[in-house]
Amino acid sequence: ELKVEQNPLFLSMQEGKNYTIYCNYSTTSDRLYWYRQDPGKSLESLFVLLSNGAVKQEGRLMASLDTKARLSTLHITAAVHDLSATYFCAVDVSQGAQKLVFGQGTRLTINP
Amino acid sequence: KAGVTQTPRYLIKTRGQQVTLSCSPISGHRSVSWYQQTPGQGLQFLFEYFSETQRNKGNFPGRFSGRQFSNSRSEMNVSTLELGDSALYLCASSPGQINSPLHFGNGTRLTVT
């Protein structure tokens, strides 16, 4: 059974600092997604990573995918309070047929 | 463009009852997926429909069922509700092509008492 594991699960950091969230998965897949969820809200798509070595950046967030290591990272640069949220990675296990297995989520709190 | 709409937003039911949740996808999206989110189990895949056909199903008991209509709207039904069915049920839509991200609705919060 596919497992998707994120770490850390909880992260409290100061504004202006850099940090990385890790997402490991246990089976072959070349499609990985990152989502953001604010408290009481739905999931917002951040990145779609489609191949080995893929790197995507949006503002202070950058995501990468290493399919050989079965590892994706979400790097936060110079964090700001507005980035406080729960971040999920998800692996497509259906070869594009929209069945995703999600990680546990990383709750990120950024303190002023 | 309107987003994914789920109704109702909140629902309180009693054990043993059944419930139907509704999802209207983004216009033009032909794939609708359903996920259950709980604090203990996280986000778990229920099923996915594309052009009225179920393409994938998760590991949930047969009490959980769904369908999709010709206009791509989808419903999810849970029969004989149990306390453990209390959760946030999220619907997501996509064009259905490989590599399309899912667009999630705001969810239906189901409480079973």
Average pLDDT on A45-64 reads 92
pLDDT tens for residues A64-99? 999 899 999 999 999 999 999 999 999 988 776 678
Mean pLDDT computed over every residue of chain A: 92
- Of A24-28, A107-111, B17-21, the poorest mean pLDDT is in A24-28
Q: Is A8 helix (H, G, I), strand (E, B) or coil?
A: coil
Number of inter-chain CB pairs under 8 A, A vs B: 63
Question: Looking at residue B16, what is its pLDDT?
Answer: 98
Q: Please identify which residue in the block is written with the tokens 């705001």.
A: B106
Chain A residues with beta carbon closer than 8 angstroms to that of B7: none
Q: How many residues are present in chain A? A: 112
Collect all residues with Cβ–Cβ distance below 8 Å to A26 and sequence separation of at least 6. A2, A3, A4, A70
Mutate: best of A10, A98, A101, A107, partner B, most B CBs <10 A:
A98
Mutate: best of A9, A42, A65, A94, partner B, most B CBs <10 A:
A42
Greatest alpha-carbon span in chain B: 40
A97 and B103: CB-CB below 8 Å? no
pLDDT score of A27 more than 90:
no
Give dist(CA A53, CA A22) in Å, integer: 15
Query: Of A97, A99, A102, which is closest to B42 when you measure between CB atoms?
Result: A102
pLDDT tens for residues B37-95? 999 999 999 999 999 999 989 999 999 999 999 999 999 999 999 999 999 999 999 98
A94 and B98: CB-CB below 8 Å? no
Chain B residues with beta carbon closer than 8 angstroms to that of A45: 101-103
B103 and A45: CB-CB below 8 Å? yes
Instruction: Say if residue A85 is exposed, middle or buried (CB neighbours under 10 Å; 0-12, 13-18, 19+).
Output: buried
CA angle A94, B75, A89 (to 5 degrees): 35
Collect all residues with Cβ–Cβ distance below 8 Å to B60 and sequence separation of at least 6. B36, B44, B46, B47
pLDDT band at B96 (very low <50, low <70, confident <90, very high): confident
Sheet containing strand A71-76, strands side by side: A4-7, A19-25, A71-76, A61-66, A55-58
Q: In the structure encoding, which two tokens stand for residue B101, read together? A: 């991200």
Q: Is B45 helix (H, G, I), strand (E, B) or coil?
A: strand
Smallest CA–CA distance from B97 into chain A, residue: A96
